[in-house]
Structure 1
Amino acid sequence: MSASLIYDLAPIGSIVVWSDGTPRPPERHKKKLAAWETRNSQGRLIRKDGPRTRGTYTTPASFTLHEGNIVSGTTIMVTISRTFGLDSNLAFKVLERPPLGSIRIFDRPGPSHELIHLAENIVAAEAWLKVHRYPLAVLEEVTADEIAVDHVEGRTAA
């Protein structure tokens, strides 16, 4: 899939893989392997942004994938996210869509919101919010309508 198809079709919370199509270098080539891993990995879709105009320049629409966290004990020290423009030349694939009935927790209302957690159900979402305390959090359930639209329109997790 192209980046624009991920932007158009993949629901927030999906696990997305990206690749440049090159083979993985051997483990002994540390620098080559590190460079390859930046262009071949996976993450959870946490945000979609439309095009923005600043002065005379317009940035293309983009989406952001959460790749992982660097933790120390139980504290997240660094969050690793990657943002891709719709003009990206990488190949993308949806590995997994959010399950029916799961709850998306966004950091704030509005178009610039970002997924901060995908809970199994409403009870788990409320328990997570009690611990993590996001005062402006917005909860959104993954509905059957969302999944049905994918099947009616011929969308798949490929």
Structure 2
Amino acid sequence: MSASLIYDLAPIGAIVAWSDGTPRPPEHHKKRLAAWENRNSRGRLIRKQDRRGLGNISLSPDFTLHEGDFGAGGVIAIRVHRTFSLDSDLTFKVIERPAPGSVRVFDRAGASAELVHLASSRQAAEEWLTPHGHPNAVLEEVSADEVAADHVEGRAAA
């Protein structure tokens, strides 16, 4: 499916894969494999941003996926996010949707909020927040109605 369909249909917290449609190169082709992995991977949908202006510049809508974290000893040194514009030539697919009853933890309220954690329950979300901070965090439960509406209205992004 297209990037614009992911933007329109995929729920925040979903695992989304992207691909350029080319076959994976053999392991021994290190440079080609690295280039392929750059255009064929997956991540968790953490933000959708509407059209916005920055001075005289108009930025088109986009979405951001959290691809992974790198670090050691429980300390994250680098967090990898990928932002895709709606005119991306890649193909996308929803691999997994957030389960009903799970709780999204956003870093703040509003349109620029970013998902920082997806917990299995409200209690788990509150326990996660204790050591991780985020004083302006907003908790949002994934409702069964939200997931069911996607299927009833034919909006399933998978």
TM range (shorter): over 0.9
Structure 1 residues 42-81: aligned runs within 5 Å? 42-81=42-81
Q: Which residue identity is paired with 2:143?
A: T
- Three-state SS of the structure 1 residue aligned to 2:124 is helix
Q: Output one character per residue of 1:17-45: Cα deviation in whole Å (capped at 9) or x when no partner.
A: 00000000111111111010010000000
TM-score (norm 2): 0.97
- 2:32 match: 32
- Three-state SS of the structure 1 residue aligned to 2:156 is coil
Q: Which residue identity is paired with 1:36?
A: W
Measure how far apart 1:117 and its partner are: 0.1
Of 143-152 and 81-90, deviating more is: 143-152
- 2:82 match: 82
CA contact (8 A) 1:97 1:157 kept: no
Of 123-132 and 50-59, deviating more is: 50-59
CA contact (8 A) 2:69 2:76 kept: yes
CA contact (8 A) 1:7 1:63 kept: yes
CA contact (8 A) 1:47 1:115 kept: yes
Is 1:21 equivalent to 2:21 in the alignment? yes
Structure-1 separation of matches of 2:140 and 2:121: 10
Measure how far apart 1:55 and its partner are: 3.6
Q: Output one character per residue of 1:105-133: Cα deviation in whole Å (capped at 9) or x when no partner.
A: 00011110000000000111111011111
- 1:129 match: 129
Structure-2 separation of matches of 1:57 and 1:87: 17
CA contact (8 A) 1:96 1:157 kept: no
Count of aligned pairs between the two proteins: 158
- 1:108 match: 108
Q: Which residue identity is paired with 1:120?
A: S
Query: Could you say what the CA RMSD is over the residues aligned between the two structures, in angstroms?
Result: 0.9
Measure how far apart 1:81 and its partner are: 0.5
- Three-state SS of the structure 1 residue aligned to 2:16 is strand
- 1:120 match: 120
Measure how far apart 1:157 and its partner are: 4.5
Q: Which runs of 5+ in 2 are unaligned?
A: none
Moved beyond 3 Å, runs of 4+: none
Structure-2 separation of matches of 1:156 and 1:79: 29
Of 11-20 and 125-134, deviating more is: 125-134
